[in-house]
């Protein structure tokens, strides 16, 4: 078109025509003719298309905000190669999405290993806290921006609803014209067109009802009290940022209003270099996230607690007492006999059995042999309270203190007297 393009002669004599940017056009008269949308809406749509196209062009340093939980999606640059880092999600067993920033440029284009992979949780929390710190002096500007955004979106939703009603009205009028133009002698065609007309009228009625209901809800939802609440929420940016009702996509848009990009470098720690709109920069040093093994490793205080309790309690008793104190395993699970035993073996803690043996306690077999009685007799005496024993595991195994010499001799003499009396009785009751 004349004035919107420029022609140049090529070395071979041909002509090359290329478009000019809008600011170089010879003539531009906005709203010269009535259009479907205003010139401002047209410019906003072009800007949105350009922002969305950044995710797929050669300069992949930005991308449109999406619903995922990664706060810096589309804003992260790799500090090693300079390419834009992508977001990778993996889903836990409970359905939670865990995002990770990954640089896959070398892997995609050259088949090399990825530059780096960084979990987003610590980075996103640090950036969120930084935004709250930076924006605290700018509460008024944030409140105005949020208010304009809410008003613009409300108007945009109302416009889309009106367009839906207009579309339904146009389809109803078109169905009516088709029905009135049909030859009455063609009854089958007329019946089909009449049914289409009725369907179109029904859709029009439903569209009008939905429009009125949604518009009424918008009007009811923006009374003076709620406007004051929204204004107060917008003025207090920290509360707005931490409000669980604030969608993640809105947080991303708020971040994009302030942050140009974030460069991440993973080494002995995570270095985050934030560049704000206008050129200001901030740098953060974050510790590396703990590995899965570290996250599942129990508190050292729990290890010391179990080590001390093994001097006085069996493993099942220890599990019960730990649960009563509110302690949990490294995985956050309650303690059981098996988990206490596994924990003890994994950390090399001496068992209660070995501790009692080191103190000189005897097994049932050893004590029975020493006293000259059967093991069941030892257990019976323990049940009657005449012998003291200690549980050494969760299965009921007992260890006994070594009896004193007088107690052992007393037991032996009683056994000998009982045997002698049995022999005398058998002799006296023999031959006549």
pLDDT in tens, 159-170: 888 888 888 889
Q: Which of 203, 225, 242 is the last residue of a domain?
A: 242
- Give yes or no for a contact between 127 and 274, defined as CB atoms under 8 angstroms apart: yes
Is 109 in a helix, a strand, or coil?
Answer: helix
- Which residues fall within 8 angstroms of residue 347, CB to CB, at 6 or more apart? 303
The pLDDT score that the predictor gives to residue 143 is 54
Q: Is the pTM of this model over 0.75?
A: no
**In degrees to the nearest 10, what's the CA dihedral of 343, 344, 349, 355?**
160
User: Are residues 157 and 206 both part of a single domain?
Assistant: yes
Final residue of a structural domain among 202, 226, 242:
242
pLDDT for 432 equals 38
Q: Do 215 and 307 have their domain in common?
A: no
In a shared domain, residues 210 and 152: yes
pLDDT of residue 370: 86
The answer as to whether 411 is a domain residue is yes
Query: For residue 32, is it within any domain?
Result: no
| Residue 355 covered by a domain | no
Say if 55 falls within a structural domain. Answer: no
Same domain, 330 and 411: no
377 with 343, same domain?
A: no
Listed in sequence order, the residues at least 6 apart from 323 whose beta carbon sits closer than 8 Å to its beta carbon are: 334, 335
Residue 376 covered by a domain = yes
> Can you tell me whether residue 312 is helix, strand or coil?
coil
Residues 197 and 151 in one domain: yes
- Give a yes or no: residue 375 inside a domain: yes
**Same domain? 161 vs 230:** yes
221 and 172 within one domain: yes
- In degrees, rounded to 5, the angle at the alpha carbon of residue 182 between the alpha carbons of residues 181 and 185 is 140
Are 344 and 368 contained in the same domain?
A: no
How high is the pLDDT of residue 220? 54
Structural domain harbouring 157: 139-242
Residues 342 and 376 in one domain: no
Q: Could you say which of 224, 242, 260 is where a domain stops? A: 242
Residue 126 located in a structural domain: no
3-state secondary structure 205-246: HHHHHHHHHHHHHHHHCCCHHHHHHHHHHHHCHHHHHHCCCC
* Whether residue 319 sits in one domain with residue 406: no
pLDDT tens per residue across all 432 residues of the chain: 567 888 888 888 888 888 888 888 888 888 888 888 888 888 888 887 877 766 555 555 556 677 788 888 888 999 988 888 888 888 877 778 889 999 988 888 888 888 899 988 889 999 988 888 776 545 545 555 666 676 677 777 788 888 888 888 898 888 888 888 888 777 788 888 888 888 888 888 888 888 887 777 666 544 555 555 555 555 667 777 888 888 888 888 888 888 889 999 998 899 999 998 878 899 999 988 877 666 677 778 888 889 999 988 888 899 999 999 888 887 778 899 898 898 888 888 999 899 998 888 888 888 888 888 888 988 888 888 888 888 888 777 888 887 765 454 455 555 555 555 555 455 444 443
Q: Residue 208 domain-assigned?
A: yes
Position 406 scores a pLDDT of: 46
371 and 308 within one domain: no
Give pLDDT, residue 346. Answer: 85
- Number of separate domains in the chain: 3
CA distances from residue 257 to 74, 123, 125, 172, 250 in whole angstroms, order as listed: 13, 18, 18, 44, 11
Using one digit for the tens of pLDDT, what is the confidence trace for 314-325?
A: 888 999 999 998
């Amino acid at each position: 078109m004349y004035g919107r393009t420029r022609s140049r002669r090529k070395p071979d004599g041909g002509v090359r025509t290329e478009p000019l940017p809008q600011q170089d056009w010879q003539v531009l008269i906005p709203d010269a003719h009535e259009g479907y949308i205003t010139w401002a809406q047209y410019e906003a749509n072009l800007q949105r298309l350009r922002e969305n196209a950044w995710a797929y062009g050669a300069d992949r340093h930005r991308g449109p905000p999406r619903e995922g939980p990664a706060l810096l999606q589309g804003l992260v640059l790799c500090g090693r190669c300079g390419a834009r880092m992508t977001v990778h999600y993996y889903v836990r067993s409970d359905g939670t999405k865990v995002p990770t920033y990954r640089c896959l440029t070398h892997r995609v284009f050259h088949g090399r290993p990825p530059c780096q992979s960084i979990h987003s949780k610590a980075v996103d929390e640090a950036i969120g806290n930084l935004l709250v710190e930076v924006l605290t002096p700018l509460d008024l500007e944030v409140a105005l921006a949020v208010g304009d955004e809410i008003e613009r979106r409300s108007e945009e939703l109302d416009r889309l609803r009106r367009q839906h009603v207009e579309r339904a009205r146009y389809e109803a009028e078109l169905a009516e014209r088709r029905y009135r133009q049909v030859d009455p002698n063609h009854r089958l065609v007329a019946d089909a067109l009449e049914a289409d007309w009725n369907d179109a009228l029904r859709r029009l009625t439903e569209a009008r009802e939905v429009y009125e209901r949604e518009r009424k809800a918008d009007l009811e939802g923006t009374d003076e009290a709620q406007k004051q609440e929204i204004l107060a929420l917008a003025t207090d940016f920290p509360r707005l940022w931490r409000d669980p009702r604030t969608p993640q996509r809105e947080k991303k848009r708020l971040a994009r209003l302030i942050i140009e990009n974030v460069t991440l470098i993973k080494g002995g720690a995570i270095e985050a270099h934030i560049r704000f709109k206008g050129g200001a920069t901030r740098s953060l040093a974050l510790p590396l996230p703990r590995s899965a093994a570290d996250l599942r490793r129990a508190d050292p205080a729990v290890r010391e607690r179990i080590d001390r309790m093994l001097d006085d309690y069996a493993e099942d008793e220890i599990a019960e007492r730990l649960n009563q104190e509110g302690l949990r395993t490294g995985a956050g699970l309650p303690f059981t006999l098996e988990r206490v035993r596994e924990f003890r073996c994994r950390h090399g803690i001496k068992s209660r059995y070995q501790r009692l043996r080191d103190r000189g306690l005897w097994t049932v077999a050893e004590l029975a042999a020493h006293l000259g009685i059967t093991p069941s007799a030892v257990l019976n005496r323990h049940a009657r309270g005449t012998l003291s024993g200690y549980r050494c595991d969760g299965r009921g195994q007992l260890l006994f203190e070594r009896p004193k010499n007088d107690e052992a001799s007393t037991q032996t003499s009683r056994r000998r007297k009982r045997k002698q009396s049995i022999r005398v009785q058998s002799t006296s009751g023999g031959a006549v």
